[in-house]
């Protein structure tokens, strides 16, 4: 059974911070009321019910008549019909995956897809792909994967892009990655030490400064997003109309149609000493 993940907004004034806000994700395990994340067809079982007198009965049988609990429960239950679409199960994942640096199964899954999909779209060889960890907003659950999981994972309308870079600019790009922190990469094997590139290979070979490389990315990273400027020094740039989240949604639907599950792994492509 899925657990609810609630994002709590922490106001800076409460903690003495002068700027910005922070978010904390807390897993709700249902130990008090038995509430779990509902699917499209088990709302009462997962969330409980509110009767005509306004009393809320939780899934574990606890009854609430006072305070804000019944009103909040009613709002949540009443919202479920509008959320039914995103509760569709569209895939199955063999394990839970978290996007974390320097590499992870989830980030490798995403950036390898970006590389292969961009190559198909632009019909040009793509040697390298780079996306940002911040573009993967939630984890991949183990078991059933809902449409809501994928849409929450990729909430931004970032478009797939093709960039042709001279080897000198590719080296500069990977230097930036080393300096500002590892990002999701495909087609490369790199070692970072003291925020500098110690070694870098593309397709098993050192980068040739005189060669031109095809690089896949998203438009957010073309000019400074997350301190990454993929398009700097580019000799060609193609910004497609394909949004990463929609493309991955279709990809996992296709996997399901073929009887395949989502599963991926790390391979040591990024090492930080």
- In the chain, domain spans: 4-87, 91-272
E strands present in 46-155: 49-50, 56-57, 63-64, 89-93, 128-131, 143-146
pLDDT at 80 over 60: yes
pLDDT average, residue stretch 96-101: 96
**Contact present, 115 and 129 (Cβ < 8 Å):** yes
pLDDT average, residue stretch 232-257: 98
57: left (phi over 0), alpha (psi -120 to 50) or beta: beta
pLDDT at 271 over 60: yes
Looking at domain 91-272, its CATH architecture is Alpha-Beta Complex (3.90)
94: left (phi over 0), alpha (psi -120 to 50) or beta: alpha
pLDDT average, residue stretch 96-117: 97
Is the CA virtual torsion 224, 229, 230, 231 positive or negative?
positive
Whether the full predicted model's pTM is greater than 0.85, yes or no, is no
State residue 31's pLDDT score.
80
pLDDT at 53 over 90: yes
pLDDT average, residue stretch 68-96: 95
Q: Please, how many CA atoms are within 13 Å of residue 77, restricted to the half-sphere of its CB?
A: 22
């Amino acid at each position: 059974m899925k657990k609810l993940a609630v994002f709590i907004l922490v106001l800076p004034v409460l903690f003495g911070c002068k700027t910005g806000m922070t978010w904390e994700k807390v897993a709700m395990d249902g130990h008090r009321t038995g509430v779990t994340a509902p699917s499209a067809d088990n709302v009462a079982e997962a969330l409980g019910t509110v009767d005509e007198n306004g009393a809320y009965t939780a899934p574990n049988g606890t009854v609430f008549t006072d305070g804000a609990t019944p009103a909040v429960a009613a709002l949540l239950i009443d919202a479920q019909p509008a959320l039914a679409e995103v509760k569709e199960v569209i895939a199955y994942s063999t394990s839970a995956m978290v996007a974390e640096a320097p590499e992870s199964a989830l980030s490798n899954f995403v950036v390898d897809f970006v590389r292969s999909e961009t190559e198909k779209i632009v019909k040009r060889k793509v040697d390298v792909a780079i996306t940002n960890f911040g573009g993967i907003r939630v984890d991949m659950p183990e078991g059933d994967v809902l449409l809501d999981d994928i849409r929450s994972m990729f909430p931004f309308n970032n478009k797939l892009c093709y960039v042709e870079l001279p080897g000198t600019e590719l080296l500069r790009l990977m230097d930036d990655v080393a300096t500002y922190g590892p990002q999701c990469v495909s087609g490369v094997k790199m070692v970072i030490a003291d925020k500098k590139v110690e070694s870098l290979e593309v397709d098993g070979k050192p980068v040739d400064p005189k060669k031109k490389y095809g690089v896949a990315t998203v438009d957010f990273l073309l000019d400074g997003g997350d301190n990454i400027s993929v398009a700097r020094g580019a000799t060609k740039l193609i910004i497609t109309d394909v949004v990463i989240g929609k493309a991955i949604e279709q990809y996992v639907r296709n996997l399901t149609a073929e009887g395949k599950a989502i599963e991926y792994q790390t391979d040591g492509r990024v090492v930080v000493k």
